[in-house]
């Protein structure tokens, strides 16, 4: 039940924000939006405002923003194809933009309300039971003044020193309740990374508005860059393709949801960034594919025949569904369903 509810909420949020981006941009551009729907299948609830029907549908795993003349040669007032090329490009790209915005907002919620962000100073927040730090005598709330007589002004400096010295004795000077103590700690080498680890985490601060906002945006940009780098490595065959389909994603959502709200917020933000990025790829049936046709229109000086373009998108969608089915089969096999 937790997996089902989490999946509906997460997919609903991802799709809602994506289609909301299209809706807002279309309204701003003066394009008539015929229907804005969350979900597919039979309508459960609807209401009309101006020219737009807003609907909630039975199958909560999808949605759409239907614009006037989007798939036809209709050039009447308010039609999609009646608008300038730049306006249409912005409308199509706005869906992915909103997925990046959603990711930044989720990171903000995580850092502002739930997890907090590390204090700027070198203050120990948590000491893991049974860790090297605990055995050496480090406590929560200790302020690291120096390590091996090197003054430390930030938590990053503390971490860098520890990581760089696996299996090497380090001399900590910490301030505790106004007194200074000298404590020797030997970081243990992490077998996976080769870094030194002592089992401490920084002191976290919640409700830090500006820092939470900026860190949310920074993490969104950072993860997007990592995704671009991973795609490059896959294309150049420097790394094997690892793709999860709907079944794999639902399974992952269930596992992450069982570990707590912090991991679920982070995972949802990660999914939102992936959705936004993938939709911008220049492939038929994706928003990036439509933007590619706009670029072609700019080069040719005239648009491609809508029927021909729609046929290409249909073929692309069919190939995309084939890929989804293939990945789904692999997911089921990996989960030992067969």
The catalytic site residues sit at: 19
Between CA 188 and CA 166 the distance in angstroms is: 5
How much of the chain is in helix, strand and coil states, percent to nearest 5?
A: 50, 20, 25
Q: DSSP state, 143? A: E
**Dist CA 144 CA 164 (whole Å):** 17
Q: Which residues of 1-37 are buried (b: 16+ CB within 10 A; e: fewer)?
A: eebeebbeebbbbbbbbbbbbbbbbbbebebbbebbb
User: Which residues sit opposite 278 in a β-bridge?
Assistant: none
Residue 107, number of CB atoms within 10 A of its CB: 26
Angle CA 92–12–337, to nearest 5: 110
């Amino acid at each position: 039940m937790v997996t089902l509810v989490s999946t509906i909420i997460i997919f609903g949020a991802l799709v809602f924000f994506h289609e909301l981006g299209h809706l807002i941009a279309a309204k701003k551009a003066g394009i008539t939006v015929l229907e804005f729907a969350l979900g597919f299948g039979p309508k459960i609830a609807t209401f009309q405002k101006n020219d737009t029907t807003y609907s909630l549908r039975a199958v909560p795993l999808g949605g759409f923003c239907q614009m006037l003349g989007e798939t036809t040669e209709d050039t009447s007032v308010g039609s999609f194809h009646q608008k300038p090329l730049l306006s249409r490009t912005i409308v199509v790209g706005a869906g992915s933009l909103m997925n990046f915005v959603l990711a930044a907002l989720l990171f903000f919620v995580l850092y502002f309300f739930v997890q907090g962000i590390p204090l700027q100073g070198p203050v120990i927040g948590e000491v893991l039971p049974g860790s090297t730090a605990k055995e050496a005598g480090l406590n929560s709330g200790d302020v690291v003044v120096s390590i091996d007589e090197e003054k430390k002004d930030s938590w990053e400096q503390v971490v860098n020193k520890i990581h760089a010295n696996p299996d090497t004795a380090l001399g900590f000077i910490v301030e505790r309740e106004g007194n200074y103590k000298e404590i020797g700690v030997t970081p243990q080498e992490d077998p996976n990374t080769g870094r030194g680890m002592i089992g401490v985490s920084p002191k976290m601060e919640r409700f830090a508005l500006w820092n939470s906002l900026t860190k949310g945006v920074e993490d969104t940009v950072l993860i997007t860059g990592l995704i671009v780098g991973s795609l490059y490595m896959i294309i150049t065959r420097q790394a094997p393709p690892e793709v999860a389909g709907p079944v794999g994603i639902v399974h992952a959502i269930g596992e992450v949801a069982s570990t707590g709200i912090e991991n679920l917020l982070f995972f949802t933000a990660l999914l939102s960034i992936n959705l936004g990025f993938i939709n911008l790829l220049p492939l038929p049936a994706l928003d990036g594919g439509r933007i590619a046709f706009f670029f072609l229109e700019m080069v040719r000086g005239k648009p491609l025949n809508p029927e021909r373009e729609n046929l290409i998108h249909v073929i692309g969608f069919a190939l995309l569904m084939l890929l989804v089915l293939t990945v789904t089969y692999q997911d089921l096999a990996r989960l030992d369903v067969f």
